Structure 1
């Protein structure tokens, strides 16, 4: 009888053990996880070590949370700067759960924690950006002002030697490329966002590791104003070049006109001189010819005159005059 009782007791014990383990007295915490043990809505235990752990079957519930670093990606916000210039700011952050019990009591789920991070970090980002100038938000240093650049529209040495009124043109073409100096910069603003956001995270059992401004871009209205300013600068340079070109055109035309007048005056002077010389030579030849044979000279001159005038006569009524005396006699008698 005793062996039967022993067997029965062992069977009952085995059934109890099997039922006990079926009810789940054990739970596993994986590497990179942490767990909170809940009994009737109350936290009765926190496990941060990986491995196999015990709990009260049926009564206890295990809630697991990641122990690794998590990423938060906020929505891009349209925020005004201190100059009331709107920009889109896109931020990201890294965080982790350092107090699982407090985390469960305050937000319970990771998804709810993201909602709280949205509220707190977005609000801090807006406050920090609004309190600073645009240049502080988009730059980290003043190195841009240390870069040596040729001014837009600058003239070469050869052009400076040939151009007229170059000082005025150079003044019109000069564009101030220096940017406003910054005293803080984007990284400093990100550090300020972290400092102002971090104290509020302790109540949720969260540690905020860092906040990074991932991207800043101009809003549509600010982009339009930047383009308009660029167009205005280019138009001003174009107008300066056109004005200088028109001045040079008038200068060159004036030089050409003066050169033309000088050449014509010299040519006319030379022509008058040649004509005077030719007339004097002709008069000398005529005088010499007349002195050698006055009758032949008179005959020759009269024939030349006939050749020039008679083809223009429409009618001749009489030739009985002294002018036509050589028509009838070579001596004119």
Structure 2
């Protein structure tokens, strides 16, 4: 058998140059140039720089007053109220949403109809109307009682003492949040493959255990992104509790702006920055929760931003060493 013909590299010292394109020639692969990407990136950077420069240098924003108010105790007290209302309402809304979702999926026609009516009603009524209605609830029902239905009451409560401003805000937000959370949970449960339900039923697993151990954990992959989006909306909706005399972050800023009319813009910026910080923290938590529940659905969990940053730095160091090596 004849030996294969080996051609030297073009222009090499061992032989004459060989035309490119022949088998065995070594050619350098050049990356495809995309000038449009560089132009687009340059335009975006210029626009962002102009916006940032105008935001920083414009004296109308009064950044010195912003720094003065940002960590004032009155603002931090309002921020604490916002966090409390959001946390309590989120727990109440999620618990109510799970129950309503199970009611919507129930085989009982009465339970299914009542759950559907609740979701329809509270998704139709604006949140501010619900809050104002609850704030004036004592005018309709001065006392609340526990006893025999349509009969005498064994224990009565004074509604005006029971329903504080915090309770009204939490109940109002929780009732509305439950209606939206119910649809999020129901959609997540319906996204689970029907074969999972059938396999659990074939094994004789009780219905409640089927839901808590098999269906709901798989549904969380679909529930978490949508519900965290609802949670961010709930966090911003807490600004409406100012209308029921509860001084949250927005309410504290509004009160300060009425007292110091010259600081309206920096005070609004204080509230804006705090809301951005809180929503960013919620988004970070959402990212890690999604990664946790994606472990059973993906062969390899995508790298986190920190891991991608470390990999990029490692590649830069290796490239620098190769280029500087003698």
TM-score past 0.5 threshold: no
Structure showing greater Rg: 1
RCO comparison, higher one (Cα < 8 Å, 6+): 2
TM-score normalized by structure 2? 0.21
TM-score normalized by structure 1? 0.21
- More helix as a share of residues: 2
